[in-house]
Structure 1
Amino acid sequence: MNGGRAVFFVVPDAIDDPDRVSGGNRYDQRVRDGLRADGWAVRMVLVTDRGAGPTAGALAQLPENALVLVDGLLATREPAALTVHGARLRLVVLVHLVADAPTDDQTAALRAARRIIATSDWTRSELLEQDAADPHRIVVAHPGTDPAPATRPSASGGRLLCVATVAPHKGQDLLVRTLIGFADRDDWTCNVVGSLRVDPDFVEALRAEIDAVGLAGRVRFTGVLTGRALEAAYADADLMVLPSRTESYGMAVAEALAHGVPVLATAVGGLPEAIAVPGAAVLVPPDDVWALHVVLQQWWTDPALRSARATAAFQARAAGRSWSTTTSIVAAALDAALADVGRTDPGRTEAVPS
């Protein structure tokens, strides 16, 4: 227990929206629930993406010297809010994604934080490359997984699964183009699980491609699945395919391995960190349909290879990270922010009242 410490958790208002499930929202939910289970008084502050200056308005309402955990998406949208309030609040920023070319204002917002929590080592290295903070102020709290029943592989290996928001950065267009190359095989299906609302035009284009080659009955877009429905999707999968163009970590990959499902994914960002046992996954270059095709061809034509991958994935179930570890790291970063007697920015030291 933490002795009754309190933290304001400032997050996008979609955190619990069942139609807008994302890795960032799920991470925030687990941190919230984990901190509360450990005795923290977590006071949620929900920020809309509409109107003028919603993050600044939310921070302005918080008491002087309050401990505040801020979702990094809000820092990206409205960086000046963190800079303005950084001197009077004990800010900790939770960074899920790193901007490719951050503005000076976005970098200044991160420098206003007492601590930065990154969700992967890759994210931390990107932040250091961008000179967003001193190295000792950035900690890594990888996403965790829950214990899950092991999936039984089928004889053919033909049950494919992709779990991700359906959008260009997740690369489902690459998956569809790859599967079209196997239209002459009749021993596979693919369930695409994830929100269909982020980029409806992208979804419609994918469906048109699939319809044009007669694969609509075999490539199924389920929309968001949670709870038992998501568990059932993992239970009915032989191989997880995630051809992302960018990933800060790859929570869906870690969850597939927690179910003993082997993975075919792209070697981007922090995604390799989600693979607890290397033999359980094959990583290919991003934007490479040919590589995806070759790996799937090998998967379907080599039963011994499928068996070896499945065995490695089963072993990975015991090697995954836990959400309790994630929460402990976040809590330690919050404690460190509470213990700070001042905030050091590049070129100056500023005392903050305790």
Structure 2
Amino acid sequence: MSTATTTADRVHVVLPGDVDDTTAPSGGNVYDRRVCQGLAAAGRPVRETAVAGSWPLPGAAARAALAETLAALPDGALVLLDGLVACGVPGLVVPHTRRLRLAVLVHLPLADETGLPAERAADLDARERATLRAAGAVVATSDWAARRLIAHHGLDPRRVHVVAPGTDPAPPAPGTDGASRLLCVASLTPRKGQDLLVTALATLVDLPWSCECVGPAGRDAPYTARLRRLIEGYGLGDRVRLTGPRTGAELTARYAAADLAVLTSRAETYGMVITEALARGVPVLATAVGAVPGTLGRAPDGKVPGVLVPPEDPVALAAALRRWFEDPALRGRLKASALRRRESLDGWPTTARHLDEVLRRFGREPWRNT
């Protein structure tokens, strides 16, 4: 990236107000923070504005704050809006697409959040469609997500760009005995499917294992309560631990102790915890939803560094886990593939460079002020 910058190179980034909240970390917030840091480190002026609110359907104060933020931007400014902030309020965002070079970064389509009432999902879907069709550019985090946005919302493929998350280099995880320590890093929400994992583990009580579910409860207190009841009902309270959110050294220690990373999501547009595990040579067992197969990828020798199972199928999940526990040769092959896969992972500087290239191309395009 060039270090010769001017005011015209500045990108105004509008983020959710909890982007730096370590008590509720999310993949989207990590992505936002790391690309802002990467763009700034490479010499592009970045001006961040975090808008607090219950996005994507905020209250009056948050709506007023976003309206004020957008109104204060000069005509022709290059703006990157987090989709969680932008996509639920087309009435505020769309009018500004006539005077701003506005790009929207979509981490998860709003209607893809599991458990939404049908009417709410349809309303969010319509709002998102209106926002993305008006935006000058749309940034998705995977090829799969880009294809889905293009097909579902009828977007011009030339305006949709893929900028995948990066990973940080990490030493190989020593694990425990090579088999028994499971790690699930994900917010406690229905979309992440920890209930499926607990149901599967309940059929494997004859085997020696322990499982840590690391992640915040988020906004779905009923789901967390149901998950705790499920764990206690199966008598797994001493084997499945809900640790709450962990970041920094604490999260690093969890990965270092893991033998297998597990992600049982019902929907994923990327799955950053997969590459975080692979960066440490930890094999992955995951549901084959959305972008997950592509994120898991293959080692340079063509081998898959993990196991994929059908979604919403605790029986298949339990069978795959049993094979993992009972087959040392399988574990050895997957561990070796995970160690090789870590060599081909892109870092966050690559992510920032790709985003910078997208923004520069977008900034040079004729201004869509219609």
Q: Normalising TM by the smaller chain, what interval? A: over 0.9
Identity, % of aligned positions: 45
Helix, strand or coil for the counterpart of 1:46? strand
1:19 aligns with 2:40: no
Match of 2:103 in 1: 92
Helix, strand or coil for the counterpart of 1:166? coil
Match of 2:118 in 1: none
Give the CA deviation at 1:105. Answer: 4.0
Helix, strand or coil for the counterpart of 2:286? strand
Aligned-partner residue type, residue 223 of structure 2: F
Q: What's the Cα RMSD here?
A: 1.6
Q: 1:145–1:323: 8 Å Cα contact kept in structure 2? A: yes
Alpha-carbon distance in structure 2 between the residues aligned to 1:51 and 1:289: 38
Stretches of structure 1 lacking an aligned partner (at least 5 in a row): 344-349
Alpha-carbon distance in structure 2 between the residues aligned to 1:103 and 1:162: 29
Change in CA separation of 1:208 and 1:106 when aligned onto 2, cut-off 3 Å: closer
Q: Aligned match of 1:155 in 177, 197, 209?
A: 177
Which of structure 1's runs of 4+ aligned residues deviate more than 6 A? Answer: none
Helix, strand or coil for the counterpart of 1:86? helix
Aligned length: 344
Aligned-partner residue type, residue 139 of structure 2: I
Helix, strand or coil for the counterpart of 1:192? strand
Deviates more, 1:118-127 or 1:76-85: 76-85
Q: Aligned match of 2:89 in 78, 81, 84?
A: 78
Alpha-carbon distance in structure 1 between the residues aligned to 2:248 and 2:126: 41
Match of 1:51 in 2: 59
Alpha-carbon distance in structure 2 between the residues aligned to 1:105 and 1:262: 38
Deviates more, 1:146-155 or 1:215-224: 146-155
Q: Aligned match of 1:64 in 75, 97, 110?
A: 75
Alpha-carbon distance in structure 2 between the residues aligned to 1:285 and 1:75: 32
Match of 2:114 in 1: none
Alpha-carbon distance in structure 2 between the residues aligned to 1:284 and 1:276: 15
1:178 aligns with 2:200: yes
Alpha-carbon distance in structure 2 between the residues aligned to 1:321 and 1:276: 12
Helix, strand or coil for the counterpart of 1:314? helix
Change in CA separation of 1:297 and 1:105 when aligned onto 2, cut-off 3 Å: closer
Match of 2:252 in 1: 231
CA deviation profile, 1:232-272 (whole Å, cap 9, x unmatched): 00011000110000000000011101110000001111111
Q: 1:98–1:126: 8 Å Cα contact kept in structure 2? A: no
Q: Aligned match of 2:261 in 240, 246, 249?
A: 240
Q: 1:2–1:38: 8 Å Cα contact kept in structure 2? A: no
Aligned-partner residue type, residue 134 of structure 1: D
Give the CA deviation at 1:35. Answer: 0.5
Match of 2:347 in 1: 322
Change in CA separation of 1:192 and 1:105 when aligned onto 2, cut-off 3 Å: closer
Q: 1:262–1:310: 8 Å Cα contact kept in structure 2? A: yes
Helix, strand or coil for the counterpart of 1:177? helix
CA deviation profile, 1:160-194 (whole Å, cap 9, x unmatched): 00000011100000001111111233x21001000
1:145 aligns with 2:167: yes
Give the CA deviation at 1:119. Answer: 0.3
CA deviation profile, 1:120-179 (whole Å, cap 9, x unmatched): 111110111024432111110010101011012443501000000011100000001111
1:39 aligns with 2:43: yes
Q: 1:246–1:269: 8 Å Cα contact kept in structure 2? A: yes
CA deviation profile, 1:205-225 (whole Å, cap 9, x unmatched): 222222233321211111111
> Following superposition of structure 1 onto structure 2, how do residues 258-337 of structure 1 map, counting pairs within 5 Å?
258-277=279-298, 278-337=303-362
Q: Aligned match of 1:134 in 144, 147, 156?
A: 156
Q: 2:177–2:259: 8 Å Cα contact kept in structure 1? A: no
Aligned-partner residue type, residue 51 of structure 1: G
Q: 2:88–2:127: 8 Å Cα contact kept in structure 1? A: no
Deviates more, 1:63-72 or 1:104-113: 104-113
Give the CA deviation at 1:108. Answer: 2.6
Match of 2:216 in 1: 195
Match of 1:346 in 2: none
Match of 1:340 in 2: 365
Deviates more, 1:299-308 or 1:2-11: 2-11
Q: 2:87–2:132: 8 Å Cα contact kept in structure 1? A: no
Q: Aligned match of 2:237 in 199, 213, 216?
A: 216
Alpha-carbon distance in structure 2 between the residues aligned to 1:274 and 1:104: 28
Stretches of structure 2 lacking an aligned partner (at least 5 in a row): 112-121
Aligned-partner residue type, residue 36 of structure 1: A
